[in-house]
Amino acid sequence: MVQTLTTLKESPSQTAGPYVHIGATPNWVEITGVWDEDLGLVLVGPETKGERIIVKGRVFDGSGNVIKDALIEIWQADADGLYNSPEEKRGKADPNFVGWGRQPTDGTTGEYRFETIKPGRVPYKDGRLMAPHITVWIVARGINIGLHTRLYFGDEEAANAECPVLARIEHKFRLPTLIAARSEENGMPTYTFDIRL
């Protein structure tokens, strides 16, 4: 027998199931008193640098029905394009912006909603700048392994056009599905990002 590698296998994923909120956002499902506040509800405080925006949308299944029991997480850079993470080696991010958020999709409307800031640009591995984007992660009953995607901004046409990640997408018809349209809601810039499975 040849030598064996010493690497381990990643633990296989299993669906988050219908009750993911018991673990992720217990207060939201009326399990109160275990801890005071669900993690990831608030991204932005008064001291946070950057343009305040709302990101919202819905998740649709393969038949076009809205998924009302999903959990969405986002991860993004600060206004200067730095991540608030020990793995960020390029500098120190805005200490008043965690950059991570977690929200359930609404049990009635299916909408998720984050109040955040518009991220700055982050370099690709070769140093070219990627367009501003937010990393999105989706789990739900029926999803066997969490789905990663990216939200890009509809009003960043020039940056989107030169983004090395967007440029690598072979089937161009899929490109617009990664771009959130900008509108205004009560004077707040609002980006709508629907996710279709």
Partner 1 sequence: MQRKAILSEVSGPRQEQMTGLEGGFYQRDRSWHPAALTPQYKTSVLRSPQYPLLALENTISEMTGPRFGHGTIGPLDNDLIRNFAKTGDAIGQRIIVYGRVLDENARPVPGALVEFWQANAGGRYRHKKETYLAAIDPNFGGCGRAITDAEGRYWFRTIKPGAYPWPNGVNDWRPAHIHFSLFGHAFAQRLITQMYFEGDPMIWQCPIVSTIADKAAIDQLTAVLDRNATLPMDALAYKFDIVLRGRRSTMFENRMEGN
Binders of partner 1 among residues 111 to 130 (CB under 8 A) are 122-127, 130
- Residues of span 78-117 touching partner 1 by CB under 8 A: 83-92, 98-100
Between 10 and 184, CB nearer to partner 1: 10
Between 20 and 151, CB nearer to Fe ion: 20
CB of residue 60 to partner 1, shortest distance in Å = 10
- Residues of span 13-42 touching Fe ion by CB under 5 A: 17
Of 184, 182, 179, 183, nearest to 194 by C-alpha is 179
Sign of the torsion formed by the C-alpha atoms of 66, 67, 68 and 70 = negative
Q: How many chain residues interact with partner 1 (CB under 8 A)?
A: 75
* Chosen from Fe ion, partner 1, none, partner binding at 99 (C-beta under 5 to 8 Å by type): partner 1
User: Do residues 117 and 188 lie in contact, with contact meaning Cβ atoms separated by under 8 Å?
Assistant: no
DSSP string, 133-181: EEEEEEE-TT-SS-EEEEEEETT-HHHHHT-HHHHT-S-GGGGGGGEEE
CB of residue 106 to partner 1, shortest distance in Å = 14
Q: Is 11 in the site for partner 1 (CB under 8 A)?
A: yes
Cα distance between residue 56 and residue 190, in whole Å: 7
Binding partner 1 (rule: CB under 8 A), the pick from 72, 77, 117, 179 is 77
* Chosen from Fe ion, partner 1, none, partner binding at 78 (C-beta under 5 to 8 Å by type): none
- Residues of span 31-60 touching partner 1 by CB under 8 A: 31, 33-35, 39
User: Do residues 156 and 137 lie in contact, with contact meaning Cβ atoms separated by under 8 Å?
Assistant: no
Sign of the torsion formed by the C-alpha atoms of 24, 42, 58 and 163 = negative
φ/ψ of residue 27, rounded to 5: -65, -35
Between 29 and 79, CB nearer to partner 1: 29
Binding partner 1 (rule: CB under 8 A), the pick from 106, 142, 155, 190 is 142
Between 177 and 183, CB nearer to partner 1: 177
Q: How far is CA 118 from CA 72, 78, 108, 196, in A?
A: 18, 8, 28, 23
* Chosen from Fe ion, partner 1, none, partner binding at 3 (C-beta under 5 to 8 Å by type): none
Cα distance between residue 109 and residue 170, in whole Å: 34
